[in-house]
Amino acid sequence: MAPIVTVCIVSFNHEKWLRKCLGSICTQKTDFEYSVLVHDDCSTDGSIAIIKEFEKKYPDKIHTIIQEENRYSKGINIVQKYVIPAIQTKYFAICEGDDYWCDENKLQKQVDYLEDHPECNMTFHNANVVDTEDNFIKTFYPRRMWNDKALYKALEKPEGTDISVEELIRLDFTPTASIVGRTENLRPILDFSTSLDLVVRLVTTYDGCAHYFNEIMSAYRTNNPNSASGSIKTSPEKLKKNFYDRHVGLLREFDEFTKGKFHDEIEHVIKRKSLIYYQHLNDLKGMRSTGVFNELLPYEKLKYEVKDKLPFITKLRKKK
């Protein structure tokens, strides 16, 4: 029986977490065949040895692309150049090498839903957020920051909910390891300038809908200094270049790709991303200048207003 899902794993120096990642994927319980495509970008730690260990243990399941020199450092987009072209199955799933799955029936549930709902192009779910030592921090959802009551309420439904493209744009981020979608809808990403998960979920879903499972089925790792999200926290320049500029550029490419169908929603979320950029800089004036400051939940606004006044209050106290 031919596989119907390809699980795509992109790894670089993930030795500490890779065994858990691969183990959680290779032990899925399904009534269909699936393959696991592991791309390693010339890791300098023990990642490649772990990949070969699992390749030997699951020879019919695991397929590898192991680079002999680092391609990312040469400006090559790994996902567009190597991963997407290698997917030959009806569906794709994603799990980066430092994340893992925590439900052995995850693939079965998500593929069953896609099989039964042809109008749905992508499925995703809730996740645990863990640190580099696997300590639980919180659940990924709810991510209450904006005054989007209807959207947050929909995500709280025990049975899950369908998510429109407009809602997905506002939701902004989903746990990467939670995504399972239709490969034919993924392929247009090859024509985009890059392949951040932002564009993966929007392009995959754009002419249909997504479905959200209100279940914890994966773990999203944070504070990994080698990850994209980890690196932007330590550098304002990287924050501007790798977060704000890239996300805005991709949103505008998606706007062109859809011929302006979601233009208003895209422009609105660009303002929100601008606010998040100023938020990381602790720049309340910049946050207010975006025009969406009042869309923050009250306690989020208060948090930054207090932080802005804190130096002044401290100075007054010292004078006393």
Please give the CATH architecture assigned to the domain spanning 5-226: Alpha-Beta Complex (3.90)
| Contacts with 305 (C-beta within 8 Å, 6 or more apart), sequence order | 284
pLDDT in tens, 118-157: 999 999 999 999 999 999 999 999 888 999 999 999 999 9
Burial-class residue 60 by CB neighbours within 10 Å (0-12, 13-18, 19+): exposed
- Spatial distance between the Cα atoms of 206 and 164, rounded to a whole number of angstroms: 9
Provide the whole-model pTM.
0.91
**Cα Rg of the chain (Å, integer):** 21
pLDDT in tens, 248-296: 999 999 999 999 999 999 999 999 999 999 998 989 999 999 999 999 9
Average pLDDT over residues 20-47: 98
Where exactly are the structural domains of the chain?
A: 5-226, 229-319
Exposure string for 209-247, b = 16+ CB within 10 A, e = fewer: bbbbbebbbbbbbbebeebeeeebeeeeeebeebbbebb
pLDDT of residue 177 exceeding 80, the answer is yes
Higher pLDDT: 185 or 239? It is 185
pLDDT of residue 316 exceeding 50, the answer is no
pLDDT in tens, 184-205: 999 999 999 988 889 999 999 9
pLDDT of residue 76 exceeding 80, the answer is yes
What pLDDT shows up at residue 175? 95
- SS3 readout for the chain: CCCCEEEEEEECCCHHHHHHHHHHHHCCCCCCCEEEEEEECCCCCCHHHHHHHHHHHCCCCEEEEECCCCCHHHCCCHHHHHHHHHCCCCEEEECCCCCEECCCCHHHHHHHHHHHCCCEEEEEEEEEEECCCCCEEEECCCCCCECCHHHHHHHCCCCCEEECHHHHHHHCCCCHHHCEEEHHHHHHHHHCCCCCHHHHHHHHHCCCEEEEEEEEEEEEECCCCCCHHHHHCCCHHHHHHHHHHHHHHHHHHHHHHCCCCCHHHHHHHHHHHHHHHHHHCCCHHHHHHCCCHHHECHHHHHHHHHHHHHHHHHHHHHHC
pLDDT band at 314 (very low <50, low <70, confident <90, very high): very low
pLDDT of residue 19 exceeding 60, the answer is yes
CA neighbor of 28 nearest in space, from 120, 97, 93, 108: 108
What pLDDT shows up at residue 222? 92
What pLDDT shows up at residue 320? 47
Q: Which residues sit opposite 5 in a β-bridge?
A: 34, 91
